[in-house]
Amino acid sequence: MSITASMVKELRERTGAGMMECKKALVETGGDIDAAIEFLRKSGQAKADKKAGRTAAEGRVVIRTSADGKKAAMVEVNCETDFVASDDNFTRFAEAVAQLALENRPADLDALLAASLDGGTVEDVRKGLVAKIGENITVRRFELLDISGVPGQYLHGNRIGVLVDLEGGSAGLAKDIAMHIAASKPVCVSADQVDPELIEKEKAIFKAQAEESGKPAEIIEKMISGRVNKYLKEITLLGQPFVKNPDETIEKLLDREKAKVVRFVRLEVGEGIEKKSENFAEEVMAQVKGN
């Protein structure tokens, strides 16, 4: 059976695959459109599986909020390069996933990946996008926020996203707090929310450092206590100097504005992912020596 341009066009419109891939699929399936779609899906699956081990530390953070501002969702979708992070197909996919997270309120990442999207699931569309774009793409994580007070949000480009639930205060203050969190990376709101294991780990480090001073035990205890307090101020929102006015802590700012941060969430693209550094000169030299 001869493969016509109209058949290729129809298959491209239904799958979004490239022209040559569509023509190949139609040839392989004798012009059967439905069989060609299945062929492309299997091909996309194979390509996605092949690329799954490649590091995807670029991408974008997308925020979506409900019309009344009381519900918000934020997702991180990753790819391998900045170039693809700006691709329209990748952007539309990330935005669609964020909207699904907002509407469906999935319990976990598996539930989000299984949600319906464009006639399949999020995972199906992801794999198809991997085949189309040629890079590993992952939906890495998401955060949901039910907002009881004043909502605040901030996106730094497409790489850092913050959502804030502020009790009291104003929309302007909520945005300022969100911007501060984006810049200063607090771990939590207050010292009582810090993981005790993290504090004990830091104490052990401070103790080892203090003991090298050779000072009396009671002095060492005071040194450790002082360093722990300083550490807690550095990692908690309330203890940090406000980025717009370093002479004032966030705690003092909130007290002055009669406001309280109920909760915040922050996502940064690629945070915690170890990026593979390429040294092509060393790679070539290793190959030369191997030969």
In whole angstroms, what is the distance from residue 219 CA to residue 237 CA? 29
Name the 3-class secondary structure at 207: helix
In whole angstroms, what is the distance from residue 58 CA to residue 90 CA? 12
Tell me the domains of the chain and their CATH numbers. 5-51 (1.10.8.10), 55-146 (3.30.479.20), 191-254 (no CATH)
Q: Is the pLDDT of residue 62 over 60?
A: yes
pLDDT band at 113 (very low <50, low <70, confident <90, very high): very high
Which residue pairs, CB below 8 angstroms and at least 24 apart, start in 78-83?
78/137, 78/138, 78/139, 78/140, 78/269, 78/270, 78/273, 79/133, 79/135, 79/136, 79/137, 80/54, 80/55, 80/56, 80/135, 80/136, 81/135, 82/58
pLDDT of res. 252: 98
- The model carries a pTM of 0.75
In whole angstroms, what is the distance from residue 96 CA to residue 108 CA? 17
In whole angstroms, what is the distance from residue 237 CA to residue 184 CA? 8
pLDDT of res. 280: 44
pLDDT tens sequence across 75-101: 999 999 999 999 999 999 999 999 999
Q: How does the average pLDDT of the chain come out, rounded?
A: 87
